[in-house]
Each structure stands twice: as C-alpha cells, then as structure tokens.
A and B are shown apart, each in its own frame.
Chain A
Amino acid sequence: MIIPLIDSVIYTMLAATTPVVLAALGVMFTNFSGMFNIALEGMMLVSAFFSVFVVDITSNLWLGMIAGIGAATILGLSIFFICHYFHAEIFIVGMGANLIATGLTTFMAVQLKGSSSLIFENVPKLRRIAIPIIENIPILRGLSGHYVIDYLAIAISVICYILVFYTPYGYHLRTIGKDEWVAKTLGISITKHQFISYLWCGFLCGLGGAVLSLPVGVFLGGPVGMANGRGWLAIAVLCLGQENPLNILAAALFIGATSALSDLLQVTTSLSPRLLMALPFAAALIAIVFYMAKEHKTSLGIKI
C-alpha cells in the first residue's frame, strides 16, 4: 500500500518539476544578461496553445513542439526588441506580454472552437517512455514512464551547468551578470548576449509549455490558463537556485515535491482542494524568505 503511494508521489514530483525547471533555466539566462524576463507565464501559455494547435492540424508531435518553441521565441524576441530599440522598461513590457499571451490564446481558442478551453480528442499525444529494469524496481519506479520532455529537462539542466561554468560562453554571460562594465572593457558584446539569452528563454519556455498541453491534447485558456502560475514559480526557483543550474534543478524539485504533496493531500484528506493548490506557492514564498534572511541579514554587520 505505502510503496505504490511513494511511487506515485515521486512520479508526480518529477512531472511537476519539468515545466518549472525549464522556465527557471530560461529566466536564468535573461537574468545573467541583465534583462530579467518576467514573461515566462505568457511564453509557456502561447507555446502550450500553438503546440497542440499545430499537432491538431499536422498530426505530428515534433512539428507541434517546434511550433510551441517558435511561438514562445517570437514572444520573447518581441520583448527583447521593444526593450532594446525603444528603451522600454523590461518589467512593464514583460507584464504586457503576459497579458497579451492570455488574451491572444483565449481569443483564438474561442474563435476556433467557441470555447476558451480546447479538447482535441483525435490528436496524437506524447507517449510515456518506460525505462527498462527501473520500471520494475519499487520506489525507483517513479523515475520511469515520463515523457520525452521530462527526461530532456534533466539533461538540459546538466548541459546548462556545463555551459555556464565550463565554457567561454558561460564565463562571458556570468561576467555580464556580475558587472557589465567589465564586459565592456574586455569587448564582450552585451547586446549579443542579451539576444542569445532571449533565444534560450524562448526555447526553454517553449518546451515547458509544450509539456503542459501535448501529453493530454488539451489547452486551457482563460484568466488562470494552462501555465497556472508555473512561470511565477520559476522566478521563485531562480531566486533559490541563483546562478547555478543544478541548484535551480534542486529548487524546482523542491517545488515539484510540494506540488506532489498538494496532490496527495487532496486525495487523502478532506482539506479544501483550492487551498491545497496554493501549497507550492506558499512553500516557495517561505523558502525565499528563509533563504534571503540567511544570505543578507548581516551584510554590514548591523542588526536592523
């Protein structure tokens, strides 16, 4: 009885981690480049919509994924260009992008099917991939049977770690993040890196959006939407993980674990499900408060 329960909790945790860690890695790149992108929620939402929409037309999951990534990247690059060429305030533009994403996808969904939420019954769906041997070991079983994007997310976290700490690209990115003046005096192009960071962010949020809609063949529009706050959780995860992709993965796993716990409590207890859905957000908030308190309390040695 207890073992299958653990299996399912681990399974849910990993599944809940994927979109959050992908978006958090995306915002990490923009944070390094000094143009912090808060439009993760919107980018994931357009990707969730366009990926399932293109799968519906073409019946090809890969094309769907590419469409999702493309849509998120286009939204991301529009933010970049508006801020770079018109000197707009990045947070305002990011907020606008989030609102446009909600409005645009809901509008298109209503125009297409007459409802803000779309259920595509005949589209191919992402298949679960079982890992041989591991799928038969109790407890470890929860690691198996995920979608391709879930496995990709773990691999991407490791690749990002290597990229950030062991390649010239990562050094340049961190240099810009720490002190733009140093980058300038060494001839490291800040604009170029900001542009590339938005490509990264588009790619990662695109994947993160596709993993929401493609496995189920469903798109949920409306004010809450399919991303459902995951983009904001990703920013919390970045706060906890700082500049290290592996720490970001760990922080995302923590958020994933609270999501799994929330799911579990919804099934096993009579607590209000609506309240329980707030658990990951509450956990993120508390974690950040403790983290900040630990890091910054005594920077000048004076207790305030």
Chain B
Amino acid sequence: MGNNVKSYLEMREITKTYRTYDHAVVVALKGANLRVRKGTVHAVLGENGAGKTTLMEILAGVLKKDSGTIYFKGQKLEVENASQAFAQGIGMVHQRLSLIEDFTVAENIVLGIEPTNRLGIINLEQIEKKVSKFFQESGFALEASGIVNTLSIGQRQKVEIMRALYRGADLLILDEPTSALTEQEVQDLFRLINVFKKQGKTIIFITHKIEEVLDIADELTVLRKGRTIGEGQIKDFSKKEIIQMIMGEPISLRIERIPLRKGKILLSVRDLSVSSNGNLERVKNISFDLKEGEITAIAGVSGNGQKELVEAIFGLRLPATGKILVNSKDITNLLPRGRREMGISYIPEDRMNLGSSLKSSLMENVIVDKYYKPPFSERGWRQIDLCKKYAEKLVSNYNIKIPDVDCCVGTLSGGNIQRVIIARELTTDFTILIAQEPTMGLDLGSIKYVYNLLLEMRNEGKTILLLTSDMDEIINLSDRILVMYRGEIVANLDNNLKPITKEEIGEYMLGIKRQNHIELLG
C-alpha cells in the first residue's frame, strides 16, 4: 500500500522492548498492528500486559518504538515527543492522570503551550478567561480557576480530555478511562464521547470491560502478548467471541458462593466519626461488626465517606470520635503496623502510591510488611536468600509477569502491579482483609482469579471488607451489603437470605430509600 493508505490511522508491525535498570529485557510489543477509521470509536482490548498501553503511548509520543511504521492522515508519522504528537492532532488521556495537583485547571490546560505577552510573561487572568471561554463553547461546566486537587477523579479526567481538545486533538486516546469512575461518571463520559464522534473526532478506547465496548465502540482490535490477534466491526462479534479472543479461551465470571454459618465477631466499629482533609465530617457515627467467614461489601456513590471509613479502620486517618475493636481489643490508637500485627491486611485503591513502591524491587515490595519478623529477619539480620525464594514463590503462585524478582515494580503493567499487591496482602497471617477496588484494571482472567482467592479466604473463616464501584462484583461476592449515603449506613442487606438486585442497592445509594433502626441491625 505504501503511502497510499486508506485508514485514518495505521500502525504496522510495531515492536517495543523495555530495558529495566538491571538490563533485563521485557518485550512489550512483538509486531502489533492497528487500523482506525476516521470518526469511529475504536476499542483496543487485551489482557493485562498485552501491550495496549505501550502501543498507545508510542502513538502519543511518550514512548519511542523500536521498529514499525505509523501512517496518520495519509502521511508517515514520526514523533519524538508528546508535544509533536499533540501538534499532529493526537491527544492521549493516560490511565495515570497527568495533572499538576496544586496548579489551577486553566494552568493545567495550557501547560506546555502557555500564551505570553511580548515580554514572555504569562497573564494568568487572561489564560483563565480563554480557558473558560473554551469550556463554555464545548459545553463543559467547570471553574477554570479551581485548583485541581479539589476536583474528583471524574472531573480531573475531564480536565485532561479538555486539555487534549484544547491542543487541537482530532484523535483522542483514552487509556482505561472508566476504571476509576463511578457509574454516573461513566455515563457522562460516554455521552461526551458520543458528542466528539458527532463532531467528527476519532476516539481510541482502551478497556477491560466488555459491556463498555458493546455500549460505545464501533470497531475493535484485540491484542494478546504484544501481537494483534483480531480486529473488525463490533457487530460482527458476539460478547462470547470477544472474550474468547482476549483470553484465548472462554471464561465466565460466575462464581459459586455457598452461605456459611456465622462465626464470631472479628472486627467491630463503634460510633465512628471521621473527618476529611478539609475537616468536613465524612463518616458520621457509624457502627457495625464483621464476622468470621463473611464478605461484607460497602456500597455507595463515591465521596460518601467509604474511603475515609476504611482509611480510619486501617489507621491512615485518625477518627474524630469512636472506637475500632479487633477481637474486642481497642486498636483505635495503633499505627498501621500495629494494626497489621492484629491481623488486618489492606489492598488499597491507589496501587501506585499507597499500594506499592514503584522504585523498589518486587522482592522488597512483597516483604515490606514483614521484613522485620522471623523468618525474614533473624536476630536483627535480614535473610536475603529466604526473602528472594519467598518472592519467587509468590511470582509463580500469583502468575506475575516479571523477568526477575529484583526488577523494580515501576516497570510492570498496572494489572501486574495489582497482582503484586494482592500477593503480598494475601500471603500473610491475617484474619481481616480490607479490599479496596481489588479488581480495578484487571482483565477477566485475573478478576476471576481474585474472586476465587477472596472466596477461598472467606471459606477459611477470614472476614473481608470489600469496597468496590463495580456493582456486579458486590452482588456476586458479598454475603452482606452495607450501603453508605452521606457518611451514614442507610442499609444493611443480607445477600444470602435472598439475592439483592442492583436496583435495590441503587435506591439506597442515591438516598431514595433508607432502612429503619431495626432493619439496620440486620
């Protein structure tokens, strides 16, 4: 075909290898192809570590390809950095949002292309006016002078989308845009995507969620292990076929959950009130118990205090009033390490900052909660060989894709980092697990795997507190569902008595219904 390319965007035989600090080689792309037609929503699908993000970051100029060619708008495309990609009309919204938190929205929007006067001086007011006007024209309601760290994740993402458009993007790449959003925010995003499509823009959409693909995409490309293994129109594939292409084998998320007899109380929360950073009361006088062999889900629209609640239970946040008891012992004043020793394990939502140390090796990451205890340390000496063997065991048990346990975790894909965290938190002596978005950003195979693990832990008599924005996950996994609304528990639902429906939970989540005191006791 040569230069005579029909597609709007065509990426051919792209290869990319990473070199880690210790010179191990990770092959991310082994000749991937992508063809995108103008004015379509194109889904890029694949397992964790299939190379989707790498392929898109090459297109957006953030990474350099080893070999292969890219044609865009009929021309060969060579970009050295993200700035040049923007200049060509390619804008990417990364999975890890790239905004400076203490800059204003307007400052973030113009970052990299700041307009100045003749003396080279920036006039912030003028920029804010310009950005406000741009927001109005695109029908986007947000204060241009607001500081980014006061915004929700959904709003921040919109700021990033607006930034790409402000810089003239015709091709918008969204890397797992829905993984951190609430149901409502996802619907907003989809509406926005449809508007862009009507304007003639092209959208590439990376996701794990098949429903979303069927909802919004026109075409799809599936990557597996760095290669393109399928492409075409969405309407030509059934859901089952798509899943099969991604996984290589059929898979179902349905799991068998047999109700257990209720055991003794492991964790009690009594009259707990917690304030946010801005001193707003986020959790109001909450009490509940977690029993052996039970998965308890906390449902709620994000921002209703769930985050503050679990942070208080794990000791990342000091409660204003109230008590937290483990086996009837008061742990309210213990630090996180003390709480871990009381048998609490924690999978945090923010895997990059709270969950792992990206600059440390996998081995260091998996022993960070226990390096000081025997057998990892004996008489004050660390047992490096033993730690290494332990890490290698976790790598094979949890199927983590890493060349060597000394590789730093920052080189792994998002899904693999999640596996590292899950491996660490589950391979320890715990009785209580707090799991916050445990399957966020994982592919179907991994999700199924995590579900089975959680269920196994529950059947062993441990208690699990599950915090997730995925309603199916709540309904599938949990024995009991607590719904939070404006800092209070408004419903205590037993999922074993009769299966709870999404609609039922939704009514409580939105504050339409509320249980009375007796019902709340369960």
Contact = CB atoms under 8 A, between A and B. Distances in A.
Interface of A: 162, 166-168, 171-172, 174-175, 178-179, 181-182, 184-189, 300-302, 304
Task: Name A's interface SS.
Answer: helix
A302 B111 contact: no
Given A300-B317, A302-B315, A167 B121 contact: yes
A185 B91 CA distance: 10
Nearest to A187: B83
Interface string B95-108: 01011111000010
Interface centre among A185, A189, A304 (most CB of B within 10 A): A185
Contacts of A189: 81
B121 A185 contact: no
A181 B96 contact: yes
B82 interface: yes
Contact of B98 (A167, A174, A186): A186
A97 B2 CA distance: 54
A304 B315 CA distance: 12
A184 B62 contact: yes
Given A186-B82, A187-B82, A302-B318, A167 B122 contact: yes
Contacts of B99: 182
Interface residues of B, number: 30
Given A166-B122, A167-B122, A171-B122, A301 B318 contact: yes
Interface in B58-95: 60-62, 81-86, 92, 94
Given A172-B112, A185-B62, A304-B335, A167 B120 contact: yes
B519 interface: no
27 contacts: A166-B122, A168-B120, A171-B114, A171-B122, A172-B112, A174-B100, A175-B100, A175-B111, A178-B100, A178-B102, A179-B98, A181-B96, A181-B98, A182-B99, A184-B82, A185-B92, A185-B94, A185-B98, A186-B83, A186-B98, A186-B111, A187-B61, A300-B317, A300-B318, A301-B317, A302-B317, A302-B318
Most buried by A among B86, B101, B121: B121
Interface of B: 60-62, 81-86, 92, 94, 96, 98-102, 107, 111-112, 114, 116, 120-122, 315-318, 335
Contacts of B82: 184-187
A205 B113 CA distance: 31
Nearest to B61: A187
Contacts of A304: 335
Contacts of A162: 121
A188 B318 contact: no
A209 B389 CA distance: 54
Contacts, number: 66
B116 to A, nearest CB: 6
A127 B100 CA distance: 46
Q: Closest 6 A-B residue pairs measured CB to CB?
A: A187-B83, A187-B82, A187-B81, A186-B112, A168-B114, A301-B318
B100 A179 contact: yes
Contacts of B315: 302
Contacts of B92: 185
Contacts of B86: 186-187
A264 to B, nearest CB: 41
A167 B107 CA distance: 12
B83 A171 contact: no
A167 B116 contact: yes
Which has the most chain A C-beta neighbours within 10 Å: B85, B114, B316, B335?
B114
A275 to B, nearest CB: 39
Contacts of A301: 317-318
A224 to B, nearest CB: 37
Contacts of A182: 98-100, 111
A66 B444 CA distance: 65
A304 B83 CA distance: 45
A182 B101 CA distance: 10
B272 to A, nearest CB: 14
Contacts of B335: 302, 304
B373 to A, nearest CB: 21
- Which among A172, A178, A186, A300 has the greatest number of chain B C-beta atoms within 10 A? A186
A162 B123 CA distance: 12
Nearest to B102: A178
B122 A188 contact: no
Given A175-B111, A188-B83, A188-B112, 4 more contacts: A171-B122, A187-B85, A300-B318, A304-B335
B62 A166 contact: no
Contacts of B112: 172, 186-188
